[in-house]
Amino acid sequence: MTDAQTPLETARQQGQPILDQLAFEKFASAHRRELKLHCYRMMGSLHDADDLVQDTFLRAWRGRSEFDGRGSVRGWLYAIATNNCLNALKARSRAHRILQQPGRPPSHGPATGGAAAELTWLEPYPDAELPGLVDGDPGPEAQYESREAVQLAFVAAIQLLPPKQRAALLLSDVLGWPAVETARLLGASTASINSALQRARATLAARYPQGRPIRRSQPNPEEGLLLARYMQAWQAADLDAFIELLREDATYRMPPWREWYQGRRAIRGLFENVWPNFAGFRTVAIGANAQPAVGVYARTHQDPAWRAHSLHVIEPAEGGIASLTVYVPPLGPSLFAAFGLPPVP
């Protein structure tokens, strides 16, 4: 892996100390988005990623004299960021975030449980924050395409891995770094990294029937049409049109509520009870995790004011929508600002 030529890298190659704050800030700006995405994949939290990437650059600036010059500056920053994430995960009561509660069967009928505040939920990631196609061109060791490695389902799956396995898989199979380089960055032996990768890959293979999430290439016109029809169905509160967009085996999750639903019939049963409580919806197209997404504003019969309501992340597949993750109140409205959405339309 090589860095883009920057004033910081030029100084390193010429044997000069990394003391120029302006050069450092320019370099930090060039790599901020990819490091933030790496921290997000590790943590499953957009807000944690913001804090950790900021701390990464602070630590790098304070420790700039310790950089030995044997590797790339970019690799040095990834090492700091990854270790920051591992330390943050160690301090958590739970080392992973979820899209649905483990072991909970799909629900039928109205959702009555309410928000489960004690659980830590996986947050979506704004497409506006993705660097280029995601990470640019991954290295030769990469096992995952850039687009699939940011999908919500993929990030949820790697959250099942122990933190060190998660770090090894992201550095090797997503960024494409050789195991020997990953070992150096994590301060581990190559044998231990290869072992961690083997276990991590086995966990992901069990998670997906083919060992990986649904693979998606570049967005296509059919996907854009699906999104338009989805938004129209919500704005018209047209339940038949909404259900028609779903595959027969579609899943519907609604963080931070515990309930989740599977199949057209079960999802219809939920919405037959939900939509009559609202007087109208407005929708705004956004992008999340390199997937189609929608911000939804709603008003009720008791309150005619439009308010931020939910953020929808759509997983398209052949035959319609394979999965919907809808972040409902109170979690949904709290995410609007990160996606550039105002609290009212």
State the SS3 of the chain: CCCCCCHHHHHHHCCCCCCCHHHHHHHHHHHHHHHHHHHHHHHCCHHHHHHHHHHHHHHHHHCHHHCCCCCCHHHHHHHHHHHHHHHHHHCCCCCCCECCCCCCCCCCCCCCCCECCCCCECCCCEHHHCCCCCCCCCCCCCCCCCCHHHCHHHHHHHCCCCHHHHHHHHHHHHCCCCHHHHHHHHCCCHHHHHHHHHHHHHHHHHHCCCCCCCCCCCCCHHHHHHHHHHHHHHHCCCHHHHHHCEEEEEEEECCCECCEEECHHHHHHHHHHHHHHEEEEEEEEEEECCEEEEEEEEEECCCCCCEEEEEEEEEEECCEEEEEEEECCCHHHHCCHHHCCCCCC
Ranges of each domain in the chain: 7-92+123-207, 221-339
Task: Determine the pLDDT at residue 4.
Answer: 46
Task: Determine the pLDDT at residue 60.
Answer: 86
CATH fold for the domain made of 221-339? Nuclear Transport Factor 2; Chain: A, (3.10.450)
State pTM to two decimals.
Answer: 0.88
Q: How much of the chain exceeds pLDDT 70, in percent?
A: 85
Task: Determine the pLDDT at residue 65.
Answer: 67
The pLDDT tens digits for 228-250 are 999 999 999 999 999 999 999 99
Task: Determine the pLDDT at residue 285.
Answer: 97
Task: Determine the pLDDT at residue 205.
Answer: 85
Task: Determine the pLDDT at residue 301.
Answer: 95
Task: Determine the pLDDT at residue 22.
Answer: 72
Q: What is the pLDDT along the chain (345 residues), one digit of tens a residue?
A: 444 444 445 555 555 445 567 777 777 777 899 999 999 999 999 999 999 999 999 898 887 766 655 567 788 899 999 999 999 999 887 778 999 888 899 999 898 888 998 899 999 999 999 866 554 566 666 777 777 889 999 999 999 999 999 999 999 999 999 999 999 989 999 999 999 999 999 988 887 655 555 555 556 778 889 999 999 999 999 999 999 999 999 999 999 999 999 999 999 999 999 999 999 999 999 999 999 999 999 999 999 999 999 999 999 988 899 999 999 999 999 999 999 999 998
